[in-house]
Structure 1
Protein backbone atom coordinates (compact mmCIF):
# COMPACT_ATOMS: atom_id res chain seq x y z
CA UNK A 1 0.00 0.00 0.00
CA UNK A 2 1.20 3.53 -0.78
CA UNK A 3 -1.07 4.96 1.90
CA UNK A 4 -2.24 3.57 5.23
CA UNK A 5 -5.96 4.33 5.01
CA UNK A 6 -7.51 4.89 8.42
CA UNK A 7 -11.17 4.97 9.42
CA UNK A 8 -12.87 6.89 12.25
CA UNK A 9 -13.21 3.54 14.06
CA UNK A 10 -9.40 3.35 14.25
CA UNK A 11 -9.19 6.51 16.38
CA UNK A 12 -8.59 6.05 20.09
CA UNK A 13 -8.10 9.81 20.57
CA UNK A 14 -8.20 12.64 18.01
CA UNK A 15 -4.42 12.30 17.71
CA UNK A 16 -3.97 8.53 17.99
CA UNK A 17 -5.09 5.61 15.84
CA UNK A 18 -4.87 1.88 16.51
CA UNK A 19 -5.37 -0.77 13.84
CA UNK A 20 -6.14 -4.43 14.52
CA UNK A 21 -7.09 -6.00 11.18
CA UNK A 22 -4.79 -8.64 9.77
CA UNK A 23 -4.43 -7.17 6.27
CA UNK A 24 -2.99 -3.81 7.29
CA UNK A 25 -0.91 -5.35 10.08
CA UNK A 26 0.55 -7.93 7.71
CA UNK A 27 1.50 -5.16 5.30
CA UNK A 28 3.22 -3.18 8.05
CA UNK A 29 5.16 -6.25 9.19
CA UNK A 30 6.00 -7.94 5.90
CA UNK A 31 6.05 -5.22 3.23
CA UNK A 32 6.88 -1.98 5.02
CA UNK A 33 8.95 -3.80 7.65
CA UNK A 34 8.02 -0.85 9.83
CA UNK A 35 9.46 -0.22 13.27
CA UNK A 36 8.43 2.08 16.15
CA UNK A 37 9.48 5.67 15.60
CA UNK A 38 9.07 5.48 11.81
CA UNK A 39 6.78 7.94 10.02
CA UNK A 40 4.33 6.68 7.40
CA UNK A 41 1.96 8.30 4.92
CA UNK A 42 -1.60 7.95 6.17
CA UNK A 43 -5.04 9.20 5.23
CA UNK A 44 -8.40 9.36 6.92
CA UNK A 45 -11.33 7.94 4.97
CA UNK A 46 -13.13 10.75 3.11
CA UNK A 47 -10.76 13.33 4.61
CA UNK A 48 -7.15 14.43 4.26
CA UNK A 49 -3.73 12.83 3.80
CA UNK A 50 -0.71 13.34 6.04
CA UNK A 51 1.82 11.61 8.24
CA UNK A 52 1.71 9.48 11.36
CA UNK A 53 4.43 8.13 13.65
CA UNK A 54 4.34 4.46 14.56
CA UNK A 55 4.43 4.18 18.36
CA UNK A 56 3.90 0.44 18.87
CA UNK A 57 3.84 -2.48 16.43
CA UNK A 58 2.79 -5.85 17.78
CA UNK A 59 1.36 -9.00 16.24
CA UNK A 60 -2.24 -8.00 16.91
CA UNK A 61 -2.17 -4.20 16.82
CA UNK A 62 -0.33 -1.10 15.67
CA UNK A 63 -0.58 2.24 17.46
CA UNK A 64 0.08 5.53 15.65
CA UNK A 65 0.42 9.16 16.62
CA UNK A 66 -1.24 11.24 13.89
CA UNK A 67 1.03 14.17 13.09
CA UNK A 68 -1.09 15.93 10.48
CA UNK A 69 -3.78 15.25 7.84
CA UNK A 70 -3.66 18.51 5.94
CA UNK A 71 -3.14 17.44 2.31
CA UNK A 72 -6.31 17.04 0.23
CA UNK A 73 -6.81 13.82 -1.76
CA UNK A 74 -6.17 13.92 -5.51
CA UNK A 75 -9.02 15.34 -7.62
CA UNK A 76 -11.77 12.95 -8.64
CA UNK A 77 -12.62 12.20 -12.24
CA UNK A 78 -15.85 13.94 -13.31
CA UNK A 79 -17.43 10.66 -14.38
CA UNK A 80 -20.40 8.49 -13.49
CA UNK A 81 -19.42 5.01 -14.62
CA UNK A 82 -22.18 2.62 -15.70
CA UNK A 83 -20.60 -0.82 -15.77
CA UNK A 84 -22.34 -4.04 -16.73
CA UNK A 85 -21.76 -6.34 -13.77
CA UNK A 86 -18.58 -8.35 -14.47
CA UNK A 87 -18.04 -11.93 -13.40
CA UNK A 88 -17.09 -12.09 -9.71
CA UNK A 89 -13.36 -12.64 -10.16
CA UNK A 90 -13.18 -9.78 -12.64
CA UNK A 91 -15.37 -7.56 -10.45
CA UNK A 92 -12.77 -7.53 -7.68
CA UNK A 93 -10.01 -6.31 -9.99
CA UNK A 94 -12.33 -3.83 -11.68
CA UNK A 95 -13.36 -2.26 -8.37
CA UNK A 96 -9.73 -1.80 -7.38
CA UNK A 97 -8.87 -0.24 -10.75
CA UNK A 98 -11.90 2.05 -10.64
CA UNK A 99 -10.97 3.37 -7.21
CA UNK A 100 -7.33 3.80 -8.23
CA UNK A 101 -8.29 5.80 -11.32
CA UNK A 102 -10.38 8.29 -9.34
CA UNK A 103 -13.96 7.32 -10.20
CA UNK A 104 -16.29 8.34 -7.36
CA UNK A 105 -19.65 7.23 -8.71
CA UNK A 106 -20.20 3.70 -10.00
CA UNK A 107 -23.39 1.94 -11.05
CA UNK A 108 -23.18 -1.83 -11.54
CA UNK A 109 -25.87 -2.67 -14.04
CA UNK A 110 -27.60 -5.81 -15.25
CA UNK A 111 -27.61 -6.35 -19.01
CA UNK A 112 -28.75 -9.20 -21.22
CA UNK A 113 -25.30 -10.80 -21.36
CA UNK A 114 -24.72 -10.64 -17.60
CA UNK A 115 -25.32 -14.01 -15.95
CA UNK A 116 -28.08 -13.70 -13.35
CA UNK A 117 -26.00 -15.81 -10.98
CA UNK A 118 -23.44 -12.99 -10.76
CA UNK A 119 -25.90 -11.03 -8.62
CA UNK A 120 -25.71 -13.73 -5.94
CA UNK A 121 -21.94 -13.47 -5.62
CA UNK A 122 -20.45 -12.79 -2.16
CA UNK A 123 -18.31 -10.15 -3.90
CA UNK A 124 -21.40 -7.90 -3.95
CA UNK A 125 -21.67 -7.81 -0.18
CA UNK A 126 -21.08 -4.19 0.94
CA UNK A 127 -18.08 -5.10 3.06
CA UNK A 128 -16.43 -6.97 0.17
CA UNK A 129 -17.03 -4.09 -2.23
CA UNK A 130 -15.58 -1.61 0.26
CA UNK A 131 -12.54 -3.80 0.86
CA UNK A 132 -11.67 -3.80 -2.84
CA UNK A 133 -12.27 -0.06 -3.12
CA UNK A 134 -9.95 0.56 -0.18
CA UNK A 135 -7.18 -1.42 -1.86
CA UNK A 136 -7.55 0.81 -4.91
CA UNK A 137 -7.48 3.98 -2.82
CA UNK A 138 -4.36 2.85 -0.97
CA UNK A 139 -2.63 2.22 -4.28
CA UNK A 140 -3.46 5.72 -5.56
CA UNK A 141 -2.94 7.60 -2.26
CA UNK A 142 -6.58 8.62 -2.23
CA UNK A 143 -9.03 8.67 0.67
CA UNK A 144 -12.49 9.26 -0.82
CA UNK A 145 -14.54 6.09 -1.22
CA UNK A 146 -16.58 5.80 -4.41
CA UNK A 147 -20.35 5.52 -4.11
CA UNK A 148 -21.48 2.20 -5.60
CA UNK A 149 -25.07 1.63 -6.75
CA UNK A 150 -26.43 -1.81 -7.72
CA UNK A 151 -29.05 -1.94 -10.46
CA UNK A 152 -30.12 -5.53 -11.15
CA UNK A 153 -32.89 -4.48 -13.58
CA UNK A 154 -31.87 -2.76 -16.81
CA UNK A 155 -35.15 -1.39 -18.11
CA UNK A 156 -36.47 0.27 -14.92
CA UNK A 157 -33.10 1.92 -14.35
CA UNK A 158 -32.87 3.19 -17.92
CA UNK A 159 -36.44 4.47 -17.92
CA UNK A 160 -36.92 5.77 -14.38
CA UNK A 161 -33.54 6.85 -12.99
CA UNK A 162 -30.96 7.40 -15.69
CA UNK A 163 -32.60 10.28 -17.63
CA UNK A 164 -32.48 12.65 -14.64
CA UNK A 165 -28.92 11.56 -13.80
CA UNK A 166 -27.78 12.60 -17.29
CA UNK A 167 -28.66 16.26 -16.81
CA UNK A 168 -25.57 18.33 -17.57
CA UNK A 169 -23.53 15.25 -18.51
CA UNK A 170 -21.97 14.20 -21.77
CA UNK A 171 -23.14 10.60 -22.23
CA UNK A 172 -20.71 8.14 -23.87
CA UNK A 173 -21.40 4.52 -24.81
CA UNK A 174 -18.31 2.35 -25.19
CA UNK A 175 -19.18 -0.40 -27.64
CA UNK A 176 -17.13 -2.07 -30.39
CA UNK A 177 -17.86 -0.94 -33.91
CA UNK A 178 -20.08 2.07 -33.25
CA UNK A 179 -19.46 5.80 -33.25
CA UNK A 180 -16.08 7.46 -33.24
CA UNK A 181 -12.74 6.58 -31.71
CA UNK A 182 -12.66 7.34 -27.99
CA UNK A 183 -11.88 11.06 -27.50
CA UNK A 184 -8.82 12.18 -25.59
CA UNK A 185 -8.30 14.69 -22.81
CA UNK A 186 -11.82 15.85 -22.02
CA UNK A 187 -12.04 18.95 -19.82
CA UNK A 188 -12.26 18.19 -16.12
CA UNK A 189 -15.14 20.63 -15.69
CA UNK A 190 -17.41 18.61 -18.01
CA UNK A 191 -19.26 15.79 -16.21
CA UNK A 192 -19.42 12.54 -18.17
CA UNK A 193 -21.56 9.43 -17.90
CA UNK A 194 -19.68 6.48 -19.41
CA UNK A 195 -21.45 3.19 -20.12
CA UNK A 196 -19.34 0.04 -20.53
CA UNK A 197 -20.94 -3.30 -21.34
CA UNK A 198 -19.91 -6.88 -20.57
CA UNK A 199 -17.20 -8.63 -22.57
CA UNK A 200 -19.83 -9.77 -25.04
CA UNK A 201 -21.03 -6.20 -25.42
CA UNK A 202 -24.48 -4.70 -25.13
CA UNK A 203 -27.21 -6.29 -27.23
CA UNK A 204 -28.73 -4.13 -30.01
CA UNK A 205 -31.83 -3.31 -27.91
CA UNK A 206 -29.64 -1.94 -25.10
CA UNK A 207 -27.52 0.09 -27.50
CA UNK A 208 -30.66 1.56 -29.04
CA UNK A 209 -32.15 2.49 -25.67
CA UNK A 210 -28.95 4.19 -24.54
CA UNK A 211 -28.57 6.06 -27.80
CA UNK A 212 -32.18 7.24 -27.48
CA UNK A 213 -31.17 8.87 -24.21
CA UNK A 214 -28.38 10.74 -25.99
CA UNK A 215 -25.39 8.43 -25.54
CA UNK A 216 -22.67 8.88 -28.17
CA UNK A 217 -21.03 5.70 -29.40
CA UNK A 218 -17.25 5.44 -28.89
CA UNK A 219 -14.77 2.61 -29.31
CA UNK A 220 -11.12 1.66 -28.72
CA UNK A 221 -10.55 -0.01 -32.05
CA UNK A 222 -11.19 -3.51 -33.38
CA UNK A 223 -9.90 -5.51 -30.41
CA UNK A 224 -12.22 -6.85 -27.71
CA UNK A 225 -10.72 -6.09 -24.30
CA UNK A 226 -11.33 -7.59 -20.90
CA UNK A 227 -13.55 -5.42 -18.74
CA UNK A 228 -10.84 -4.33 -16.31
CA UNK A 229 -8.57 -3.44 -19.24
CA UNK A 230 -11.31 -1.54 -21.06
CA UNK A 231 -12.16 0.49 -17.94
CA UNK A 232 -8.57 1.65 -17.43
CA UNK A 233 -8.01 2.29 -21.16
CA UNK A 234 -11.18 4.34 -21.57
CA UNK A 235 -10.65 6.44 -18.45
CA UNK A 236 -7.01 7.07 -19.41
CA UNK A 237 -7.99 8.21 -22.89
CA UNK A 238 -10.89 10.39 -21.72
CA UNK A 239 -9.14 12.16 -18.86
Structure 2
Protein backbone atom coordinates (compact mmCIF):
# COMPACT_ATOMS: atom_id res chain seq x y z
CA UNK A 1 0.00 0.00 0.00
CA UNK A 2 1.87 3.06 -1.30
CA UNK A 3 -1.07 5.39 -0.62
CA UNK A 4 -3.57 5.57 2.23
CA UNK A 5 -6.93 6.35 0.59
CA UNK A 6 -9.82 7.71 2.61
CA UNK A 7 -13.39 8.58 1.65
CA UNK A 8 -16.02 10.95 3.00
CA UNK A 9 -17.23 8.35 5.51
CA UNK A 10 -13.79 8.46 7.19
CA UNK A 11 -13.89 12.23 7.78
CA UNK A 12 -14.68 13.23 11.37
CA UNK A 13 -13.71 16.93 11.23
CA UNK A 14 -12.89 19.49 8.58
CA UNK A 15 -11.15 22.86 8.83
CA UNK A 16 -9.95 25.36 6.25
CA UNK A 17 -6.51 23.75 6.02
CA UNK A 18 -6.80 20.17 7.32
CA UNK A 19 -9.11 17.18 7.33
CA UNK A 20 -9.20 14.84 10.32
CA UNK A 21 -9.90 11.22 9.42
CA UNK A 22 -10.36 8.00 11.35
CA UNK A 23 -9.36 4.67 9.83
CA UNK A 24 -9.96 1.07 10.83
CA UNK A 25 -10.11 -2.38 9.26
CA UNK A 26 -7.62 -3.30 6.52
CA UNK A 27 -6.05 0.16 6.46
CA UNK A 28 -5.47 0.17 10.21
CA UNK A 29 -3.89 -3.29 10.02
CA UNK A 30 -1.56 -2.05 7.30
CA UNK A 31 -0.59 1.06 9.25
CA UNK A 32 0.28 -1.05 12.28
CA UNK A 33 1.97 -4.04 10.65
CA UNK A 34 3.70 -2.54 7.60
CA UNK A 35 4.17 1.19 8.23
CA UNK A 36 4.74 0.65 11.96
CA UNK A 37 2.92 3.96 12.34
CA UNK A 38 2.98 5.84 15.62
CA UNK A 39 1.93 9.34 16.70
CA UNK A 40 3.49 12.04 14.47
CA UNK A 41 4.33 9.59 11.68
CA UNK A 42 3.90 11.25 8.27
CA UNK A 43 2.18 9.16 5.58
CA UNK A 44 1.19 9.65 1.96
CA UNK A 45 -2.60 10.08 1.83
CA UNK A 46 -5.24 10.71 -0.81
CA UNK A 47 -8.98 11.30 -0.86
CA UNK A 48 -10.98 8.94 -3.04
CA UNK A 49 -11.74 10.81 -6.30
CA UNK A 50 -9.87 13.80 -4.87
CA UNK A 51 -6.39 15.15 -4.26
CA UNK A 52 -3.21 13.67 -2.84
CA UNK A 53 -1.34 14.95 0.20
CA UNK A 54 0.07 13.82 3.49
CA UNK A 55 -1.32 12.78 6.82
CA UNK A 56 0.13 13.12 10.29
CA UNK A 57 -0.84 10.39 12.73
CA UNK A 58 -2.54 11.99 15.74
CA UNK A 59 -3.24 8.73 17.56
CA UNK A 60 -3.22 5.03 16.75
CA UNK A 61 -4.14 1.83 18.59
CA UNK A 62 -5.70 -1.53 17.80
CA UNK A 63 -9.16 0.03 17.48
CA UNK A 64 -8.53 3.03 15.18
CA UNK A 65 -6.04 5.47 13.71
CA UNK A 66 -6.67 9.21 13.63
CA UNK A 67 -4.81 11.41 11.12
CA UNK A 68 -4.72 15.09 10.27
CA UNK A 69 -4.54 15.37 6.50
CA UNK A 70 -3.56 18.17 4.11
CA UNK A 71 -4.31 17.75 0.40
CA UNK A 72 -2.47 19.75 -2.24
CA UNK A 73 -1.58 17.61 -5.27
CA UNK A 74 -3.68 16.46 -8.22
CA UNK A 75 -3.73 12.71 -8.93
CA UNK A 76 -1.97 11.30 -12.02
CA UNK A 77 -3.51 12.03 -15.41
CA UNK A 78 -5.78 9.18 -16.50
CA UNK A 79 -5.08 7.25 -19.68
CA UNK A 80 -7.19 8.65 -22.54
CA UNK A 81 -8.69 5.21 -23.05
CA UNK A 82 -11.98 3.36 -22.93
CA UNK A 83 -11.20 -0.35 -22.55
CA UNK A 84 -13.65 -2.97 -23.79
CA UNK A 85 -12.80 -6.38 -22.38
CA UNK A 86 -14.49 -9.72 -22.89
CA UNK A 87 -15.34 -10.97 -19.42
CA UNK A 88 -12.27 -12.88 -18.14
CA UNK A 89 -12.29 -16.19 -16.36
CA UNK A 90 -13.16 -15.63 -12.68
CA UNK A 91 -9.75 -16.71 -11.37
CA UNK A 92 -8.13 -14.05 -13.56
CA UNK A 93 -10.70 -11.37 -12.80
CA UNK A 94 -9.13 -9.89 -9.68
CA UNK A 95 -5.64 -9.61 -11.18
CA UNK A 96 -6.91 -7.96 -14.34
CA UNK A 97 -9.15 -5.45 -12.55
CA UNK A 98 -6.29 -4.62 -10.20
CA UNK A 99 -3.88 -4.10 -13.12
CA UNK A 100 -6.32 -1.94 -15.07
CA UNK A 101 -6.74 0.31 -12.04
CA UNK A 102 -2.95 0.57 -11.58
CA UNK A 103 -2.41 1.46 -15.24
CA UNK A 104 -4.76 4.46 -15.16
CA UNK A 105 -7.75 3.15 -17.13
CA UNK A 106 -10.87 4.97 -15.95
CA UNK A 107 -13.59 3.48 -18.18
CA UNK A 108 -13.92 -0.29 -18.53
CA UNK A 109 -16.66 -2.19 -20.32
CA UNK A 110 -16.88 -5.89 -19.48
CA UNK A 111 -18.80 -7.58 -22.27
CA UNK A 112 -20.06 -11.01 -23.25
CA UNK A 113 -18.74 -12.88 -26.28
CA UNK A 114 -19.08 -16.34 -27.79
CA UNK A 115 -16.09 -17.78 -25.92
CA UNK A 116 -17.14 -16.35 -22.55
CA UNK A 117 -18.88 -19.02 -20.48
CA UNK A 118 -22.24 -17.69 -19.28
CA UNK A 119 -21.46 -18.96 -15.78
CA UNK A 120 -18.71 -16.32 -15.51
CA UNK A 121 -21.39 -13.66 -15.03
CA UNK A 122 -22.46 -15.22 -11.74
CA UNK A 123 -19.01 -15.09 -10.14
CA UNK A 124 -18.89 -13.29 -6.77
CA UNK A 125 -15.87 -11.36 -8.12
CA UNK A 126 -18.35 -9.25 -10.14
CA UNK A 127 -20.19 -8.06 -7.05
CA UNK A 128 -19.75 -4.29 -6.53
CA UNK A 129 -17.88 -4.77 -3.25
CA UNK A 130 -15.40 -7.20 -4.80
CA UNK A 131 -14.76 -4.95 -7.81
CA UNK A 132 -14.35 -1.91 -5.57
CA UNK A 133 -11.78 -3.72 -3.44
CA UNK A 134 -9.59 -4.60 -6.43
CA UNK A 135 -9.90 -1.13 -7.94
CA UNK A 136 -8.89 0.38 -4.61
CA UNK A 137 -5.88 -1.92 -4.28
CA UNK A 138 -4.73 -0.81 -7.74
CA UNK A 139 -5.09 2.86 -6.81
CA UNK A 140 -3.16 2.37 -3.57
CA UNK A 141 -0.31 0.68 -5.43
CA UNK A 142 -0.04 3.30 -8.18
CA UNK A 143 -0.62 6.37 -5.96
CA UNK A 144 -3.85 7.42 -7.64
CA UNK A 145 -7.25 8.39 -6.26
CA UNK A 146 -9.55 8.43 -9.30
CA UNK A 147 -11.79 5.37 -9.13
CA UNK A 148 -12.43 3.71 -12.52
CA UNK A 149 -15.95 3.18 -13.81
CA UNK A 150 -16.92 -0.39 -14.71
CA UNK A 151 -19.85 -1.08 -17.04
CA UNK A 152 -21.27 -4.61 -17.40
CA UNK A 153 -22.77 -5.60 -20.75
CA UNK A 154 -24.12 -9.16 -20.83
CA UNK A 155 -25.32 -9.09 -24.46
CA UNK A 156 -22.74 -8.67 -27.22
CA UNK A 157 -24.86 -7.67 -30.19
CA UNK A 158 -26.91 -4.88 -28.56
CA UNK A 159 -23.69 -3.41 -27.14
CA UNK A 160 -21.74 -3.37 -30.42
CA UNK A 161 -24.70 -2.14 -32.46
CA UNK A 162 -26.26 0.40 -30.11
CA UNK A 163 -23.44 1.71 -27.90
CA UNK A 164 -20.08 0.98 -29.45
CA UNK A 165 -20.37 3.19 -32.57
CA UNK A 166 -20.90 6.24 -30.35
CA UNK A 167 -18.03 5.21 -28.05
CA UNK A 168 -15.77 4.91 -31.12
CA UNK A 169 -16.74 8.31 -32.54
CA UNK A 170 -13.74 10.65 -32.92
CA UNK A 171 -11.41 8.17 -31.22
CA UNK A 172 -8.54 5.93 -32.24
CA UNK A 173 -10.66 2.75 -32.24
CA UNK A 174 -8.90 -0.63 -32.16
CA UNK A 175 -9.55 -4.29 -31.50
CA UNK A 176 -6.64 -6.57 -30.65
CA UNK A 177 -6.63 -9.52 -33.05
CA UNK A 178 -3.67 -11.66 -34.15
CA UNK A 179 -4.91 -12.46 -37.67
CA UNK A 180 -5.00 -10.21 -40.77
CA UNK A 181 -4.44 -7.14 -38.62
CA UNK A 182 -2.45 -3.94 -38.90
CA UNK A 183 0.65 -3.45 -36.76
CA UNK A 184 0.05 -1.71 -33.46
CA UNK A 185 0.09 2.06 -34.05
CA UNK A 186 2.76 4.21 -32.36
CA UNK A 187 2.20 5.45 -28.83
CA UNK A 188 0.04 8.52 -28.55
CA UNK A 189 -2.08 10.46 -26.08
CA UNK A 190 -4.93 10.50 -28.57
CA UNK A 191 -8.35 9.58 -27.18
CA UNK A 192 -8.70 5.86 -27.81
CA UNK A 193 -10.93 2.85 -27.39
CA UNK A 194 -9.50 -0.66 -27.35
CA UNK A 195 -11.27 -4.02 -27.37
CA UNK A 196 -9.57 -7.20 -26.14
CA UNK A 197 -11.21 -10.59 -26.52
CA UNK A 198 -11.39 -13.63 -24.25
CA UNK A 199 -8.94 -16.53 -24.12
CA UNK A 200 -9.10 -17.84 -27.70
CA UNK A 201 -10.02 -14.43 -29.07
CA UNK A 202 -13.13 -12.99 -30.66
CA UNK A 203 -14.78 -15.23 -33.29
CA UNK A 204 -14.95 -13.94 -36.92
CA UNK A 205 -18.57 -12.79 -36.54
CA UNK A 206 -17.62 -10.68 -33.53
CA UNK A 207 -14.62 -9.18 -35.32
CA UNK A 208 -16.91 -8.23 -38.22
CA UNK A 209 -19.35 -6.53 -35.85
CA UNK A 210 -16.57 -4.67 -34.06
CA UNK A 211 -15.21 -3.44 -37.39
CA UNK A 212 -18.69 -2.34 -38.47
CA UNK A 213 -18.83 -0.25 -35.28
CA UNK A 214 -15.65 1.55 -36.38
CA UNK A 215 -12.79 -0.49 -34.91
CA UNK A 216 -9.60 -1.44 -36.74
CA UNK A 217 -7.89 -4.76 -36.00
CA UNK A 218 -4.34 -4.44 -34.65
CA UNK A 219 -1.66 -6.89 -33.51
CA UNK A 220 1.56 -6.61 -31.52
CA UNK A 221 3.46 -9.60 -32.84
CA UNK A 222 3.34 -13.32 -33.55
CA UNK A 223 3.00 -14.45 -29.95
CA UNK A 224 -0.47 -15.20 -28.58
CA UNK A 225 -0.71 -13.74 -25.08
CA UNK A 226 -2.98 -14.45 -22.16
CA UNK A 227 -5.53 -11.70 -21.55
CA UNK A 228 -3.86 -10.38 -18.40
CA UNK A 229 -0.52 -10.09 -20.24
CA UNK A 230 -2.11 -8.67 -23.40
CA UNK A 231 -3.75 -5.83 -21.46
CA UNK A 232 -0.43 -4.62 -20.05
CA UNK A 233 1.49 -5.18 -23.30
CA UNK A 234 -1.03 -3.31 -25.43
CA UNK A 235 -1.39 -0.35 -23.08
CA UNK A 236 2.37 0.06 -22.77
CA UNK A 237 2.67 0.09 -26.56
CA UNK A 238 -0.25 2.43 -27.22
CA UNK A 239 0.47 5.12 -24.63
CA UNK A 240 3.74 6.89 -23.71
CA UNK A 241 2.88 7.55 -20.06
CA UNK A 242 2.77 4.08 -18.50
State the TM-score, normalized to the length of structure 1.
0.96
Deviations 1:212-232 (A, max 9, x none): 122111112122212111111
Shift of 1:176: 1.4
Q: CA RMSD in A?
A: 1.0
Q: In structure 1, how many angstroms separate the alpha carbons of the residues matched to 2:5 and 2:65? A: 13
**Which residue does 1:172 correspond to in 2?**
174
Contact 2:183 2:218 in 1 (8 A): yes
TM-score relative to the length of structure 2: 0.94
Find the counterpart in structure 2 of residue 230 from structure 1: 230
CA distance in 2, matches of 1:227, 1:62: 39
**Is the counterpart of residue 158 in structure 1 residue 160 in structure 2?**
yes
**Aligned partner (choices 30, 46, 62) of residue 27 of structure 1:** 30
- CA distances 1:88-134 after superposition (whole Å, capped 9, x unpaired): 12110011100110000000010000110110011111111011000
1:171-217 CA deviation, whole Å, 9 max, x = no partner?
1010112312222311x2x2101000011100010001111122111
1:69 aligns with 2:71: yes
**Deviating runs (4+, > 6 A) in structure 1?**
none
- SS of corresponding position for 1:230: helix
Question: Which of 95, 98, 101 matches 1:99?
Answer: 101
Total equivalences in the alignment: 235
Distance 2:136 2:120 in 1: 22
Q: Which moved more, 1:29-38 or 1:112-121?
A: 29-38
8 A contact 2:161–2:213 mirrored in 1: no
Paired position in structure 2 for 1:16: 20
Separation in 1, partners of 2:28, 2:173: 42
Q: CA offset at residue 13 of structure 1?
A: 0.8
| Residue 37 (1) aligns with residue 33 (2) | no
Partner of 2:58: 55
- For the residue of structure 2 that corresponds to 1:99, the secondary structure is helix
Unaligned runs of 5+ in 1: none
